[in-house]
């Protein structure tokens, strides 16, 4: 499994936890922040709401974060990394190209169903933390382009404009996750992924 | 050119303009609202800011709209309709399938460059007016699915799951518009659209 260069838990600078217990508290704060921001939105969310949900003292919050803005940015990075890790875990070894993209989409649809608040939080970053919003999508597109480059090397995907293709695949996955993950679970994830596999394998045109 | 069933200018119920002059004032208010919400965001935007930008009296605002929420909803519907109209105008007659989708994407990239505030406003609707946000994407996906159905009828596109395909195409276009329209104009729109035409025509898989 590939490792991500970003640290798993991002506290404010100089406030990184040094013990397992500290990392556990930081994890609790991030999980509580996901609920608080997901339910209330950035403006209505509060630090006291986060510590109440986490079951920690207010002082613990400031041990790791400087502000509400700081934990929101850390949460966006944390969620961005969860999406990346879910994709890595879904990748069968020795499989490239279209079949690999199908597996990753199917796993992402399941992930979106299990983590519905992620859309609201990342989408709100467009307003509350534009730099993190842009970084989330630029990083995800770069990972997809790297997968496509590898698949071209493996002779599974035709050479082409992998940057444009990556942004297209990312957009597909984001909107399919919204439609068939967050909004409506009535269609089997495998069925949606199979339709996209067919599209990516053969295109749409009658030959 | 197809006509849209939605009215072009949506005032609050019972406040629709009856004269050309009234429609011109309403248009000025919506254009001013696009600038006000686009620059300041929903929360910081104000009715007085909108009327100042429009050069109209405060009373004119209430002639057509009940509240800031009402003009925001009307603006999202208005922008949604502009996107739909840009797609209709881009459609060459007698062309279906992949070539038609290329033309529509190329036109959308130009549209996104010329109307950069549209992303911020429609994305903020997820929080400020969730029903309009959902309607915008559901309507757009339904239009794309109808285009694909027609292309299948014309023998230009293979039969398949046109609902899933439509959400995929919409997601592609939205993210390509963000990347190559709003964020960065350095790549020619025709080049991006050609890469997507190749993807939709032949897929990615080596045969």
Q: Do A168 and B175 touch (CB under 8 A)?
A: yes
Interface contact flag, A172 B168, Cβ < 8 Å: yes
- Does ipTM come in above 0.90? yes
Domain A9-66 has what CATH class?
mainly alpha
What DSSP character marks residue B66?
Answer: S
Separation between Cα atoms, residue B80 and residue B2, nearest integer Å: 15
User: What is the pLDDT at residue A118?
Assistant: 94
Is B157 strand, coil or helix? strand
Work out the pLDDT band at A8, boundaries 50, 70, 90. Answer: low
Mean residue pLDDT across chain A: 93
Candidate from A4-18, A163-177, B36-50 with smallest mean pLDDT: A4-18
Please state the rounded mean pLDDT for residues B7-26.
85
The pair of three-digit structure tokens given for residue A15, joined into one six-digit string: 């406030």
pLDDT at A67 over 90: yes
Q: Which CATH number fits domain A75-202: 3.40.50.10470, 1.20.1270.10, 1.10.357.10, 3.40.50.2300?
A: 1.10.357.10
pLDDT of residue A10: 78
pLDDT band at B74 (very low <50, low <70, confident <90, very high): very high
Residue A181, token pair as written in the block: 């993950």
Hey, are the CB atoms on A205 and B155 less than 8 Å from each other? no
Which residue of B lies nearest to A168 if distances are taken between CA atoms? B172
Q: pLDDT band for position B3 (50/70/90)?
A: very low
CB B205 within 8 A of CB A98: yes
Any bridge partners for residue B205, and if so which? A157
How far CA B149 is from CA of A145, A148, B135, B171, in Å, comes to 31, 30, 21, 18
Distance of alpha carbon A46 from its chain centroid, rounded?
A: 23
CB contact under 8 Å between B201 and A205, yes or no, is: yes
CATH superfamily of B20-202: Tetracycline Repressor, domain 2 (1.10.357.10)
Query: Alpha helices of A5-116 — where are they, by DSSP H?
Result: 20-44, 47-54, 58-64, 68-90, 97-114
Please choose, from the candidates A60, A62, A73, the residue with its C-alpha nearest in 3D space to the C-alpha of residue A28.
A60
**What is the pLDDT at residue B8?**
52
* H or E stretch at B166: helix B162-177
Question: Out of A134, A174, A198, whose CB is closest to B160?
Answer: A198
Here the tokens at position A42 are 């950035």
User: Above 50 in pLDDT, residue A44?
Assistant: yes
CA distances from A134 to A207, B102, B117 (A): 39, 26, 16
For residue B42, is pLDDT > 80? yes
CA–CA distance, A183 with A142 (Å, rounded to integer): 27
- Name B68's Cβ contacts closer than 8 Å, sequence gap at least 6: B42, B45, B46, B47
Distance in Å, alpha carbon of A61 to nearest chain B alpha carbon: 27
Whether pLDDT at A137 is above 50 = yes
Taking 50 as the threshold, does the pLDDT of residue B185 lie above it?
yes
Report the pLDDT averaged over residues B184-204.
97
Band of residue A12 on the pLDDT scale cut at 50, 70, 90 = confident
Q: Of B70-74, B92-96, B134-138, which range is least confident?
A: B92-96
Burial (Cβ within 10 Å: 0-12, 13-18, ≥19) of residue B48: exposed
Please determine, for residue B40, whether its predicted confidence score (pLDDT) is greater than 60.
yes
Cross-chain Cβ contact B203/A203 below 8 Å: yes
Chain A nearest C-alpha distance from B175 (Å): 5
DSSP code of residue B45? -
Query: In this complex, which of B97, B161, B164 lies closest to A205 when CB atoms are compared?
Result: B97
Q: Which of A204, A174, A99, A108 is nearest to B162 (CA)?
A: A204
Q: Can you spell out the DSSP letters for B72-131?
A: HHHHHHHHHHHHHHHHHHH--TT--HHHHHHHHHHHHHHHHHH-THHHHHHHHHHHH-HH
pLDDT at B10: 78
Find out whether A42 and A127 touch, Cβ atoms under 8 Å: yes
Q: Do A175 and B168 touch (CB under 8 A)?
A: yes
- Whole-angstrom Cα distance, residue B65 to residue B67? 6
Q: Give whole-number Cα distances, A77 to A12, A179, B1, B178, in Å.
A: 12, 23, 45, 20
Interface contact A161-B195, CB threshold 8 A? yes
> What CA–CA distance (Å, rounded) separates B129 from B73?
7
Domain boundaries in chain A? Answer: 9-66, 75-202
Q: Which of A43, A98, A124 sits opposite B204 (nearest CB)?
A: A98
Of A127, A168, A200, Cβ closest to residue B196: A168
Average pLDDT, chain B: 93
Residue B176 has pLDDT above 60, yes or no: yes
Q: How far apart are CA A105 and CA A81, in angstroms?
A: 16
Q: At residue B2, does pLDDT exceed 80? A: no
Q: Per DSSP, what are the bridge partners of residue A126?
A: none
- pLDDT, average across residues A192-204: 97
Percent of chain B with pLDDT over 90: 89
User: Of A2-6, A87-91, A123-127, B144-148, which gets the smallest average pLDDT?
Assistant: A2-6
| Chain B residues with beta carbon closer than 8 angstroms to that of A131 | none
What is the C-alpha separation between B90 and B191, in angstroms, rounded? 17
Secondary structure (3-state) at A174: helix
Round to whole Å and give the CA distance between A49 and B156: 56
> Which of A40, A32, A87 is CA-nearest to residue A57?
A32
Burial B84-105 (b: 16+ CB within 10 A, else e): bbbbeebbeeeebbbbbbbbbb
Residue B110: phi and psi, rounded to 5, are -65, -45
């Amino acid at each position: 499994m590939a490792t991500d260069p970003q640290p798993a838990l991002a506290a404010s600078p100089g406030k990184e936890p040094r013990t397992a217990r500290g990392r556990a508290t930081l994890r609790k704060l991030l999980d509580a922040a996901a609920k608080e921001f997901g339910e209330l939105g950035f403006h209505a969310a509060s630090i006291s709401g986060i510590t109440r949900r986490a079951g920690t003292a207010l002082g613990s919050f400031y041990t790791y974060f400087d502000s509400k803005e700081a934990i929101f940015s850390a949460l966006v990075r944390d969620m961005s990394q969860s999406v990346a890790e879910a994709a890595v875990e879904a990748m069968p070894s020795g499989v490239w190209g279209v079949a690999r993209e199908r597996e990753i989409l199917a796993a992402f649809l399941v992930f979106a169903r299990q983590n519905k608040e992620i859309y609201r939080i990342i989408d709100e970053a467009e307003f509350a933390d534009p730099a993190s919003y842009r970084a989330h999508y630029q990083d995800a597109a770069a990972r997809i382009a790297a997968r496509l480059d590898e698949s071209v090397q493996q002779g599974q995907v035709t050479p082409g404009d992998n940057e444009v293709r990556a942004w297209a695949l990312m957009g597909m996955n984001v909107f399919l996750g919204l439609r068939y993950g967050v909004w409506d679970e009535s269609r089997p994830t495998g069925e949606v992924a199979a339709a996209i596999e067919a599209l990516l394998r053969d295109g749409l045109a009658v030959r």
